[in-house]
Amino acid sequence: MKTEAMIRAVQRKLGIDVDGKAGPQTWGAIYQTIVRPQTAPKVAFTGPRDEANAKSELLIATLLPHVRPYARALYFKARDNGITINIISGTRTYAEQDALYAQGRTTAGDIVTNARGGHSNHNFGIAFDIGVFSGNRYLPESPLYKAVGALGMELGLEWGGNWTSIVDQPHFQLRPAWAGDMTDRAMLAELRQQTARGEAIA
Ligand SMILES: [Zn+2]
pTM assigned to the model: 0.76
Q: How close is the Cα of 160 to the center of ligand 1, in Å?
A: 7
| Ligand 1 midpoint to CA 122 (Å) | 6
Average pLDDT over the chain, rounded to an integer: 86
pLDDT given for residue 23 in this prediction: 65
- As a whole number of angstroms, the distance between CA 183 and CA 102 comes to 25
10-27: pLDDT as tens digits: 778 777 778 877 666 666
Find how far residue 191's CA is from the centre of its chain: 13
**Nearest Cα to Cα of residue 20 among 2, 38, 39:** 2
Half-sphere exposure of residue 128: CA atoms within 13 angstroms, side-chain side: 29
What is the 130 CA–ligand 1 centroid distance (Å)?
8
Instruction: Output the pLDDT for position 24.
Output: 60
**Looking at the chain, which runs of residues are DSSP E strands?**
84-89, 127-134, 137-139, 158-159, 171-173
Cβ-contact 55, 86 below 8 angstroms:
yes
The pLDDT, as a whole number, for residue 46 is 45
pLDDT along the chain (202 residues), means of 10: 75 79 65 55 52 86 93 93 96 96 95 93 97 94 96 95 89 92 92 93 80
Strand partners of residue 171: 129
Distance 170 CA to ligand 1 centre (A): 7
> 27: CA distance to ligand 1 center in Å?
25
